[in-house]
């Protein structure tokens, strides 16, 4: 029991030592620049993955349509192709909207050059 206590204590002592540090105080709240930059960064990672899934679903619909012999199976394949194209259109449209907003407000992925006076709702001191 003493060995277990000694082992647990030796692992927990650094935690107690780090507990004395105060966390950093964030003096600035997120503004439109950081929010739009984060949305654009997330979109640039997620959108290509969703486009890939949409293309795979479309190809699955094409294969189902070509291979199937019954009318019901052909209709399901045709529906998958249509839904795949609609999904790709929506995904690419959202990507374009985020890109347009980023270019309009001059926001890049690493942080933008957005001046708070450009946004009416931001309080400038």
Q: In 3-state terms, what secondary structure has residue 28?
A: coil
- Band of residue 38 on the pLDDT scale cut at 50, 70, 90: confident
Which tokens go with 116? Answer: 């708070």
pTM above 0.95, yes or no: no
54, 84 contact by CB (below 8 A): yes
- Band of residue 42 on the pLDDT scale cut at 50, 70, 90: confident
What pLDDT shows up at residue 33?
A: 65
d(CA 34, CA 42): 12
d(CA 44, CA 38): 10
């Amino acid at each position: 029991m003493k060995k277990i206590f000694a082992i647990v204590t030796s692992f927990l002592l650094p935690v107690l030592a780090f507990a004395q540090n105060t966390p950093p105080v964030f003096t600035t709240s997120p503004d439109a620049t950081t929010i739009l930059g984060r949305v654009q960064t997330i979109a640039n990672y997620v959108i290509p993955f969703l486009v890939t899934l949409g293309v795979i679903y479309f190809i699955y619909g094409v294969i189902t349509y070509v291979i199937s012999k019954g009318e019901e199976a052909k209709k399901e394949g045709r529906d998958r192709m249509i839904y795949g194209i609609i999904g790709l259109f929506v995904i690419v449209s959202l990507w374009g909207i985020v890109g347009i907003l980023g270019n309009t407000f001059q926001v890049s992925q690493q942080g933008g050059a957005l001046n708070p006076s450009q946004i009416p709702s931001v309080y400038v001191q």
